[in-house]
């Protein structure tokens, strides 16, 4: 007999709060070429395992003061779409950090945290618990993997 899942058992979306800082501002600040505090934002992002990169709304990109670097093609459910790729941000989530370029998405779409940031931060998705977990294979330590002979 198959029984329906209860609300608690149903798998669902995972939303996290991320801190973003303009990487160029940080570099200029360290060099003494910029006295103002680096531009930053704390936003919610949908963990999207069907997405590849870090995707942010135009309002967040503007708040961070990120410059456009180039256009990239995104494959979507509705076909290929040309999108702007912007300068790097420092991304912080649950005590872990990574540096990533940003791809712009429409304002009415949630900010998305895709596969590449998740790999860099060494998180796995627990869809049933609707949360991110430190990769259990790494004993709670953020690791990268390089499988070389030496």
How many DSSP H helices and E strands does the chain contain? 3, 9
| Angle subtended at Cα 84 by Cα 82 and Cα 90, rounded to the nearest 5 degrees | 140
Domains with residue ranges and CATH for the chain: 15-138 (2.40.70.10)
What digits encode the pLDDT tens for the residues 96-146?
Answer: 999 999 999 999 999 999 999 999 999 999 988 999 999 999 988 899 878
Kindly state the helix (H) or strand (E) to which residue 30 belongs, with its residue range. Answer: helix 23-31
Q: Identify whether the C-beta of residue 101 lies closer than 8 Å to the C-beta of residue 37.
A: no
Q: What is the DSSP letter of 136?
A: G
CA distance linking residue 52 with residue 118, whole number of Å: 9
What digits encode the pLDDT tens for the residues 44-59?
Answer: 999 998 999 999 999 9
């Amino acid at each position: 007999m198959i029984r329906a899942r209860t609300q608690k058992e149903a798998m669902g979306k995972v939303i996290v709060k991320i801190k973003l800082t303009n990487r160029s501002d940080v570099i200029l600040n360290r060099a003494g070429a910029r006295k103002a505090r680096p531009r930053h934002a704390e936003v919610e992002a949908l963990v999207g395992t069907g997405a590849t990169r870090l995707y942010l709304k135009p309002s967040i990109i503007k708040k961070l003061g990120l410059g456009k670097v180039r256009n990239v093609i995104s494959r979507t459910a509705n076909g290929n779409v040309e999108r702007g790729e912007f300068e790097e941000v420092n991304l912080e989530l649950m005590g872990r950090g990574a540096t990533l370029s940003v791809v712009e998405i429409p304002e009415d779409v949630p900010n998305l945290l895709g596969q590449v940031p998740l790999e860099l931060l060494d998180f796995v998705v627990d869809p049933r618990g609707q949360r991110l977990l430190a990769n259990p294979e790494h004993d709670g330590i953020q690791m990268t993997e390089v499988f070389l002979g030496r």
